Amino acid sequence: MSRSDPAVRLTELTVVFGAEAPVILGLGLVVAAGEMVALVGPSGCGKSTVLRVIAGLIAPRSGRVERVSERLGFVFQEANLLPWRTARANVRLGLELGAAGDPPRREWDRRIANQLEAVGLGPEHWSKRPHELSGGMRMRVSLARALAPRPDLLLFDEPFAALDDLSRKQLNHDLNRIRREQGWTGVFVTHNVEEAVYVSDRVLVMAANPGRVVAEVAVPLAYPRRHPRREDGDFLTIRDEIDAALRGVVETVAVGASA
């Protein structure tokens, strides 16, 4: 699969929960292999639903979901670590559930150590249980668990939303580095526009009622990206463009509500 081939293609996707109005209506989305696409939008616009449809956790009412990637990783908003397992054993869970014989069991320990090192968690924390780790560390373990089976496609559902700004920036930076090293495709849902710009190659702005993509902004910033780049003119221009699109979405909703 070359870099320009799509890893994910959603065509005319419509999702309805029960008898209510569609949560997502006629959404189209193509994510190229190796690309990271960020989804931003107001609450309730169906960003997380899109991820769950791609993951196969929710069946759409209509439309097509094509996913080339066999191996999938998902990083949730909460770390979702099992409290009775150590950090290492939680990462191991990713292999127990998702490895399917590759790598063979004898290589698991090395793979787990590699992933924990890749996400920046020192060996002194590997035997700790989740309640002994900080929020940032827990999220690093969660990321390592998703990365352990070497997924082709990683889905992120506001993974760093609950973290402090410093931890979030550090994890954004680490995520970029890991993606450059490992080359997986990603879809990243976030409310934070700066984060969306920093971690992605393309940002899609979604509107609610029903959920749909209303704007697409390319992020042609070079890698490796460093934090000072957030103050760069290019960075700010892209951020402002997305902000403007988001303001348009919110104002449309407000006008619709008052009419």
Partner 1 sequence: MSMTATKRPARQSGVVEAVPIVGRTWWNGRVTHLVRTVWPSLTVLILVVLAWDRAVVWGEIPSYLVPRPEAVARAAWNDRTSLASAAGLTAQAALCGFALSLVVGSLTALAFATWSWVRRSCYPYAIFLQTVPIVAIAPLINLYPGPGFGSVVLLSWMISLFPIVTGGTTGLTRVPPEWLELFRLYGAGRWTILWKLRIPNAVPHLVTAAKTSVGLAVIGAVVGEMFCASSKSGYGLGYWIQATSRTLEADRAFAYFLTSTGLALSIFLIAGAVGTIVLKAMGDRATLHQLELEYDSNARRRRPPRGV
Give me the phi and psi of 203, to 5 degrees please. Answer: -120, 130
Q: Which of 10, 40, 21 is nearest to 206 (CA)?
A: 40
Q: Is 65 in the site for partner 1 (CB under 8 A)?
A: no
Site residue total, partner 1 (CB under 8 A): 21
* CA–CA dist 37, 214 (Å, integer): 15
SS3 193: helix
Contact present, 118 and 150 (Cβ < 8 Å): no
Site string for partner 1, 85-124 (x = CB under 8 A): xx------xx-xxx--------------------------
- Beta strands at 24-32 and 153-157: parallel, antiparallel or unpaired: unpaired
**Interaction between residue 191 and partner 1 (CB under 8 A):** no
Structure-token pair, residue 33: 């292999």
Task: Choose one: 12-20, 52-60, 171-179, 205-213; the region binding partner 1 (CB under 8 A).
Answer: 52-60
Q: In the stretch 127-156, what mask flags binding to partner 1 with x, by CB under 8 A?
A: --xxx-------------------------
Which is nearer to partner 1, 60 or 98 (by Cβ)?
A: 98
Is 55 a binder of partner 1 (CB under 8 A)? yes
Given candidates 11, 42, 78, 221, which one binds partner 1 under the rule CB under 8 A?
78
* Residue with Cβ nearer partner 1 (80 or 114): 80
DSSP assignment string, 115-180: HHHHTT--GGGTT--GGGS-HHHHHHHHHHHHHTT--SEEEEESTTTTS-HHHHHHHHHHHHHHHH
Q: Is 57 in the site for partner 1 (CB under 8 A)?
A: yes
* Residue the block writes with tokens 């889905």: 155
Report the residue count for the chain: 259
Among 42, 76, 113, 120, binds partner 1 (CB under 8 A): 76
Point out which span in 6-14, 50-58, 171-179, 182-190 binds partner 1 (CB under 8 A).
50-58
Compute the distance between CA of residue 25 and CA of residue 158 in angstroms, rounded to an integer.
22
From the list 40-48, 117-125, 126-134, 233-241, the region that binds partner 1 by CB under 8 A is 126-134
73 versus 211: smaller Cβ distance to partner 1: 73
> With respect to partner 1, which residue has the nearer C-beta, 93 or 163?
93
Q: What is the DSSP letter of 106?
A: G
The footprint of partner 1 (CB under 8 A) covers: 55-57, 72, 74, 76, 78, 80, 82-86, 93-94, 96-98, 129-131
